[in-house]
Structure 1
Amino acid sequence: MFDIGGLDMPQEQDHGGRVFFEYWSQDQTQNYVGSSKAPAALNTDKEIKTQWYNVGFAYNFNRDWGVMVRVPVTSSRALTTETDFMYPGQIQTFNSRTFGDLEIMGVYTGLSPDMSNGLIFGLKLPTASFTTPGLDRDNQIGTGSTDLILGGFHRGLLSGDNAWQYFSQFVWRQPFAYQSAADPQGFFDGNLGVVQTYHPGMQIDGAVGIIYNNWYHVLGFDKITPLAQVILSHRDSDSGTGSDPLNSGFDRVMLSPGIEFTKVLDEATKKVLKFYVDVEVPIYYRANSANNAGTEGQLVAPYLFKLVTSYNF
C-alpha cells in the first residue's frame, strides 16, 4: 500500500541507475466495524505498530525497458492483543523483526516518446517470516504467498508552461502459490500446532494527483516539487482455515500531501540526489466487518508516513 503514489515514476530525463532507501510507518490503533469507528473492547487486538526499512535498485537499460528490485532489509511489527483464552482480557505485546518480502519488477516505458506512460510487472516473493509466535497469519510480516504484481502509470500537463502536471497510477497484487503453517497458539480452534491454510486477499491500489513543477533554486535545492494526491485501495477478504474472513478486506480513500527536494550533484553526468516525504490520511475506511457473530473489527492507522531518499546516476 506504500508503493503507490509519490514521484518515483520514470521521468524523460532519467537514464542509467537509481538506488533508494525507503522508510514506511503506520500505527493502527482505531477500531472500525464497517465504515464506522467501533469500541476498542470489541477487538482483541489493541495496537499494531509496523515499520519497514527498504533498500532498492532501479536501472533503465534504454528509454523502453527497466528493472527494479525492492529489498525490505528490516521489517518490524509490534502486536498488542488479548492472549489468554482462560483469563480473557490479559494483554501482551508480541514483536516480530525480520527480513521482508522481496519484490522484483520490470518496467516498460515505450508507450510514448516522453516516457509519460508505462507498465510495471513482477513478483513479490515469500522471503519474510510468516510463523512468528504470538501473531496470527494476517498479522505476520510475511504472507507466505508469491504475488503477481501488475500496474501502470501516466503523467500529463495541466498547463502549457509545464508548471502544473497531473499523474495517475495503479498497482494490482494477486497472491498465489500459498504456504500453510502450523498455528502454535491455537488461535482458531484452540488446538495448538494444527497446520492451517492462509490465502491473503487480492489488493488493488490507485493514486491520482497534481504536481507543481516550477519551483527552482529554493533553500539551496535545485528544485522543490510539492504534490497533492488521492490514494484509493480495495482488498478482498482473506480465506483459508487460518484466516479471519469476517475481519479482513477493506475499501479505503486517503488524502496525501507530499514534497520532493532535488539536488543536482553533477549536471554533466546527471547525478542527482532526491528526498521525498508524504503523509497519508484516511478520509474514508470501510472494514469488511459487520455486526454479526465473529466480528471484532479492524484496526486502522490515523495516518501513514513515507520517506524516500534516492540517488540517480
Structure 2
Amino acid sequence: MPSIRCCSSFALAAALAAPGLAAACSTCGCSLNSDWSSQGYATSLGWHLSLREDYFNQSQLRSGADSVSRSSFAYPADEEVQRKTINRNTLLGADYSFSRYWGLSLQLPYMDRHHQTIAEGDTGVSTSDARGIGDLRVLARYQGFSDDAGIGLQFGLKLPTGRFKQDFVSGPQAGELLDRGLQLGTGTTDALLGVYKFGYLTDSIGYFGQAMAQIALDAREHFRPGNSLNLNLGLRYLDAGRFTPQIQLNLHGEQRESGAQADRPNSGAVLAYLSPGIGVRITRRLDAFAFVQLPVYQHVNGLQLEPRRLWSLGLQYRL
C-alpha cells in the first residue's frame, strides 16, 4: 500500500498510447500520460477525476532522423509539404476503483487542431480547423498479482467516437477531405493492452514502468491506423513537502497506416521524449501538475511534422 505521503502527490504516466496518425502528423497527441492506477494512486475505493490540457506546435519538418528546410522545395512540388499543426487538447478522465485490485477508467479527449499545408501541385497554403471530441478510451485494470498491488494489467478498447470527415476550410484544397491522420478520430475500434509496475527505490524515491500496446481491430472506409506501442519510465522525489519533482522517459513507436485513404509513405515513427515536471498538493484531495516534453530522438517515415516541445498542465481530484 502506498504511504499517505505518496498518495498525496499526483500520478505520472502510464496508460494510453496515442493513436497512430499520419500525413506529416506522426503522433498528433501528447505521449505524456497521467494514469493514476499505474502508480498505485487509484487503489482507494471510489472515484478519481482528472483534467489535462496539452499544447504543442508541430512546426519542424522532418525526414528520417533529420530536419528538412522548407526552402529546399520549389512550388508546385511533387509531394505535399506541411507547414504547421497547432494542437490544443483537453483530456477528461474518470477512474473508479471497485476494490483494491479491480478498477475501470474512462478518458475522453476534446481536440482543437489548426493545420496548414501546401498540397502536391499547389502553390498556395490550405488550412483546416478541427474541433470536437476524439476517440473515447475505456480501460479496465487488475493489480492483484502481489500484496502491495504493485504489478498490474490494463485491457480495454478505444472506441470510434471522434469524427473523421472534416474538410479543409480555406486555400486551394477548401472543401476537400482532410487526411485521415489529421481527423479527430480514426473511425476504428482498437484494442488496448498494457502492463505496469510501480514501487519505491528508497523512502524518498518512487518509480514506475509501463508498456501499452494499441492494435486496430478493424478498418473504416479504406483506412486502418498503424499499431503502436508506448513505453514509459519515471521517477519522483517524495521529500519536498507539498511539491513532488518528477521525470519521465516516454518512448513511442507506431507502424505505418494502411488502406486507400492512408498516407502510408508518410506515416509511422519512433519517438523518445524526456519529460521533467512537478506536482503540487493543493488540498488533501486536489493536486496539480505541470510538465514539458523535450524530444531526445525522432525518426519518422517519409516527410512529417514534429514538435520542438510539448506542454501539459492538469488537475487531479479524489472524491
Task: Name the TM-score class by shorter chain.
Answer: 0.7 to 0.9
The correspondence for 2:232, drawn from 207, 216, 231, is 207
Distance in structure 2 (CA, Å) of the matches to 1:3 and 1:58:
19
- SS of 1:307's equivalent in the other structure is strand
Which residue of 1 is the match for residue 197 of structure 2? Answer: 154
Deviations 1:192-239, CA, capped at 9 Å, x for gaps: xxxxx11110010111121101222xxxxxx31111121111000111
Deviations 1:218-267, CA, capped at 9 Å, x for gaps: xxxxx3111112111100011111111111100011110011112344xx
State yes or no: 1:285 paired with 2:298.
yes
State yes or no: 1:20 paired with 2:61.
no
- SS of 2:282's equivalent in the other structure is strand
Distance in structure 2 (CA, Å) of the matches to 1:211 and 1:7:
15
> TM-score normalized by structure 2?
0.81
- SS of 1:138's equivalent in the other structure is helix
The 5 Å alignment of 1:240-279 reads 240-265=259-284, 272-279=285-292
CA contact (8 A) 1:30 1:299 kept: yes
- Relative distance call for 1:12 and 1:121 in structure 2 (3 A) is closer
Deviation at 1:29, TM superposition (A): 0.6
Distance in structure 2 (CA, Å) of the matches to 1:125 and 1:13:
26
Which residue of 2 is the match for residue 177 of structure 1? Answer: 218
State yes or no: 1:115 paired with 2:149.
yes
Distance in structure 2 (CA, Å) of the matches to 1:111 and 1:198:
38
One-letter amino acid of the counterpart of residue 276, structure 1:
F
CA contact (8 A) 1:4 1:171 kept: no
Deviation at 1:310, TM superposition (A): 1.2
- SS of 1:288's equivalent in the other structure is strand
Q: Which structure: greater strand fraction?
A: 1
Which residue of 1 is the match for residue 85 of structure 2? Answer: 48
CA contact (8 A) 1:249 1:288 kept: yes
Larger gyration radius, structure 1 or structure 2:
1
CA contact (8 A) 1:248 1:287 kept: yes
CA contact (8 A) 1:5 1:208 kept: no
The 5 Å alignment of 1:2-81 reads 2=30, 4-6=32-34, 8=36, 9=38, 10-11=40-41, 14-41=44-71, 42=73, 43-72=80-109, 74-81=110-117
Deviations 1:180-200, CA, capped at 9 Å, x for gaps: 0xxxxxxxxxxxxxxxx1111
Deviation at 1:60, TM superposition (A): 0.6
One-letter amino acid of the counterpart of residue 236, structure 2:
I
Which residue of 2 is the match for residue 303 of structure 1? Answer: 309
- By relative contact order (CA 8 Å, sep 6+), the higher-ranking structure is 2
> TM-score normalized by structure 1?
0.82
CA contact (8 A) 1:11 1:116 kept: no
* RMSD over aligned Cα atoms: 1.8
Which residue of 1 is the match for residue 208 of structure 2? Answer: 167
- SS of 1:303's equivalent in the other structure is strand
Q: After TM superposition, where is structure 1 displaced by more than 6 Å over at least 4 residues in a row?
A: none
**Structure 2: gaps (5+ residues):** 1-17, 19-29, 74-79, 169-177
- SS of 2:276's equivalent in the other structure is strand
Distance in structure 2 (CA, Å) of the matches to 1:100 and 1:13:
28
Which residue of 1 is the match for residue 174 of structure 2? Answer: none
Which residue of 2 is the match for residue 269 of structure 1? Answer: none
Distance in structure 2 (CA, Å) of the matches to 1:101 and 1:211:
30
> Identical aligned pairs, as a percentage?
28
**Structure 1: gaps (5+ residues):** 181-196, 217-222, 266-271, 290-296
CA contact (8 A) 1:5 1:229 kept: no
